[in-house]
Structures are given as C-alpha cells and as structure tokens.
Structure 1
Amino acid sequence: MRLEKKVVLITGSGSGIGRSTAKLFAAEGAKLIINDLSKEDGEATVQAIREEGGEAIFIQADVTKADEVEAMINEATDKLGAIDVLFNNAGISGVGPLHELSEELWDRVVNVNMKGVFLPSKYVLPQMIDRKQGNIINMSSTIAEIGLMNRAVYAATKGAVLALTKSMQVDYAPYNIRVNALLPGTILTPFVENYLKNSYDDPEEGLATIRKRQLSGDLGRPEDVARAALFLASDESKFMMGSPLYIDGGVTFGKMA
C-alpha cells in the first residue's frame, strides 16, 4: 500500500496509460480523481477501480480551460481532501513535417500538451505550498531527447514539458514539493493502435516497423509506464527531484547495429 490515503489527480485517465496508472494507484491505497474529456471513458475507469475495491470519483474538465480546471480542483478537494499527487498525463499528438502542419493543429497540440500541464499545476500548487508537501509528475516523452520523423510539434511540446519540470522543481523544492517527468517510448495504447490503422495499409507492417526502433524488440504497454509512475508517486523516489525517468525499451540511448 505505497500510496495509502494519498489523494491523487490524474488528468486524461479515461484510457491508456492514465487508466492503467489510476487502477494501479488505487490498488496501492490511493483515492483517485479521474479526469477526462470523455465522460464515458472516465466513468468506465472509475467503475473498474470500484469493482476492485478502490476509491475513485470522476470529474469531467478540459485541462486547457482555466475555469474548468479551477472548478475541478475545488470539487476534488471538497470531496476527497487536499491533493497529494498530481499526474499531468493528458496529452495529444500531431503528425506531419513542420511545413505541412496547419496552424490549427499546431495550436491545439501546444495548448493541450503545455497548457494542460500549466493549469492543473497552477491550481494544485497553492495547497501543496500551504501544506509544505506535494508530488507532481509530468508526462514528457523520449521524443524530448531524440528526433523522430513527422513529430515536430509533439517533440516541441514534450521538450517544453521536460524543461518546465526542471524549472518547477527549482521553484518548489523549498516547499518540499517534488516534480519529476516520465519519458515513455512508443507505448501500445489505443492512440497508437488507431495511428497504425490510419497510417498504414497493413497495420501489422506498421507495428513491425515501429518495433525495429526498440532495443527490446517490442512496444511498451500502459502498465509499464504505470509502474514507473507509481515509483515517482511513492516515497521510494524521495531523492529524485527534477528528474526524467525513461521507459522506452532502449530507444533513447541505444541503436541496433
């Protein structure tokens, strides 16, 4: 029970990595605030947690809108108490070389991936400062450190999240607040499955191509990232501050001959 009685907010936890992390955290004793744009997905995560004996509530909110985020934090605090752990997990991708990206797509990816970290942090941090304790986990990506074809806007935002994580840590260390980042490689989530279906005539061929980037020879699973998030959320990582944690099957630091 590494998170016993901890109140945890996970944005974008209606599916994929967010859902897997929420279920694992609940099994470790946390009280979960599930957030997602999709009411159906968010409530499904809550139901899955409750069926396993965990405690969770769902609050629908758009992490790019200040009024909705502030209302979410207030509601969560009223129902479950002060937030101990914030996992800024919500994010989207944008595919294409820079010169072919529409301004609308650029703005949307930047808004979700960067503002979606800024706003939840902004409204949770005051209560963490008052209590002189707290833990924030930001979802970055290995693409913050490496180049990848047709991922210009996604790379820009995830690099920004990593830089933001380090600066936040300097600002909030005096209040006993830790801020770290997760850097996953390619994880087999519903988003990646849809990408394969939409981008390749043969999704299996596309999957084989992506697997070749991994020293592990396979893609990660949401549970792999969830376990890393649990480590950062728990006291087991108490000496990690402003750090990137890689869960990437060897993509960042390895290359096949």
Structure 2
Amino acid sequence: MIQEKLRLKDKVAIVTGSTSGIGEETAKLFANEGANVVIVGRRQDRGEKVVNTIRSNGGKAIFVKTDVTKDDDLVNMVNKTLEAFQQVDILVNNAGRIIQKPFTEIAEDDWDHYVRLNSYSYFRAMQLVLPYMEKRGSGNIVNITSAAAINVRKTHALYSFTKAGITHMSKIVAAEYADKGIRVNCLLPGVVYTEMIADNPRTPEVAKGIPLGRMSTPEEQAKSVLYLASEDSSFMTGSSIVTDGGVTGI
C-alpha cells in the first residue's frame, strides 16, 4: 500500500521498458513512493498487468504502448503523459537489449538497430521532456546504461559503444541543464537476473565471476534508480553509479 512519507509524492514519472525487469520494479517502487507512473513498452498485456498491480496497491498509473525506436511513438508517449497528468517530472530511460557478437561479425543492420534502440531512444526521449521540465524549473532524468559502458568484455563492442555514448552524453546534458533545476544521472548495472538471461546456459558461470557471488535482482536495481530520482540524491548531477556486485570496483 501507499506509504505515509513519500519520496516521489505527486511526481509524474515516465519509465521506458517497464513491462518487465528493472523497469517494471522501478515503476512499482515509484508508485509506492507516491508517483503517478507511465508504463512504457511494446507488450500491451504486460503493460496492463503492471498498471493493474500498481492500481490494486493504491497507486496511479497508465500504460502507453511504445516502440522506443520509433520517433512518433516517443512523441505520443510524452503527449499521453501530459494528457493524463499535465506534467512530467521524472524520465527513466531503461528500454534496451544486449547484443554479443565478435567484432568482425557485427553487421550494418545490427549497428542501425542497436544504436537506435540503446542510444537514440534515450537521446530523443530526453529532448522531448526537457522543455517541459525547464518550463517547470525542475526535473530529473535517470539513464540506465550498463557497467559495460566502462568495462571491457569480448563480443560486447557494439553494446558497450551504445551504453558508453549515453553515459557520456548524460554528463553533457547535466552540465547544460544544471542551472535550470534539472538533474541527469546514470545507473550502470552489472548482470541482473531478468527474463533476458534466465535461459542462458552460461548464467551460473557468470554469477561465479561476481565478487558478491550472485547476480543482482531487478528490485535491488530499482532501489538505486529511486535514489537517483528522488531528493535523496539532491546534490548529484552528471554522476554515474555502478551497481555490479563489485566487478568494476574490486
């Protein structure tokens, strides 16, 4: 149920890729903290399920079916948010997928698709919400990238490129908008146990390589997103938090 001391009371938050994984857990946590949440994804059945879960716990949410690689869909996402809630205070860019291929096997189609999915969608969503945030004199953007943005992993060349680009772009956007009351930060997760990797036969082997001895859960990552999206991190902008169980730091 909705708590009494709410860190996101009356805030309006768009969370892309929120029909599963980190995005879903972030959306539900935001709602529990008092936010009106916009669930964004391609799977309508999953999106409506998340909305129903939030509403059954006393929260407020809508679902906007969105393919984040399509500009018209991103524009519609913002318009539907404004129609429903009249403002946008928080944007969490989370939608994306991993690609692992040997460097010389990366094709032009791979480049076009993954750059658009993992990079352009973040860039464009920020462009679309920033004018509304600037008008209100406040706003908060959290870009969920990846520890792959700073680590070296074989077969991760394209994926790391897309994540590193957004991680650095976020610092520049943070610098441009710091005097306008808008903060921009990044979360760099390591390996998270989601549906994307649940059936991967290498999952147990990967877990053994993490200093903490296990993969993260989506719920753990969502707590870090909440920290960056709330006033708990009020003096942070242009920063990156690595949540990878010690892989980078140890």
Corresponding residue for residue 44 of structure 1: 49
In the alignment, the residues of structure 2 paired with residue 162 and residue 213 of structure 1 have an alpha-carbon distance, to the nearest angstrom, of: 24
Q: CA deviation at 1:207?
A: 2.2
Correspondence list, 1:1-257, <5 A: 1-194=6-199, 196=200, 203=201, 206-254=202-250
Do the aligned partners of 2:66 and 2:74 also contact (CA within 8 Å) in 1?
yes
Alpha-carbon displacement from aligned partner over 1:117-160 (angstroms, at most 9, x marks no partner): 01111110100111110000001111111111211111000000
Q: Percent identity?
A: 40
SS of 2:143's partner is strand
Q: With structure 2 as the length reference, what TM-score do the two structures score?
A: 0.96
Matches of 1:138 and 1:207 in 2, distance apart?
Answer: 25
* Cα displacement (A) at 1:161: 1.0
CA RMSD, aligned part only? 1.0
Q: Distance in 1 between matches of 2:181 and 2:161?
A: 29
SS of alignment partner, residue 245 of structure 1: strand
CA contact (8 A) 1:63 1:119 kept: no
Q: CA deviation at 1:174?
A: 1.5
Please state how far the C-alpha of 1:78 moved relative to its aligned partner: 1.3
Consecutive unaligned residues of structure 2, counting only runs of 5 or more, are 1-5
Instruction: State the SS of the aligned residue for 2:50.
Output: helix
Structure 1 Cα separation of the partners of residues 162 and 18 of structure 2: 20
Contact persistence 1:137–1:180 (CA under 8 A): yes
Distance across 1 between alignment mates of 2:62 and 2:242:
30
Alpha-carbon shift at residue 74 of structure 1 (Å): 1.2
Aligned residues: 245
Deviations along 1:75-118, one digit per CA (max 9) or x if unpaired, are: 11111121000000111111111111222122111110001101
Q: Is the 8 A contact 1:64 1:119 kept in 2?
A: no
**Does the aligned pair in 2 maintain the 1:16–1:189 contact within 8 Å?**
yes
Mean CA deviation greater in 131-140 or 57-66: 57-66
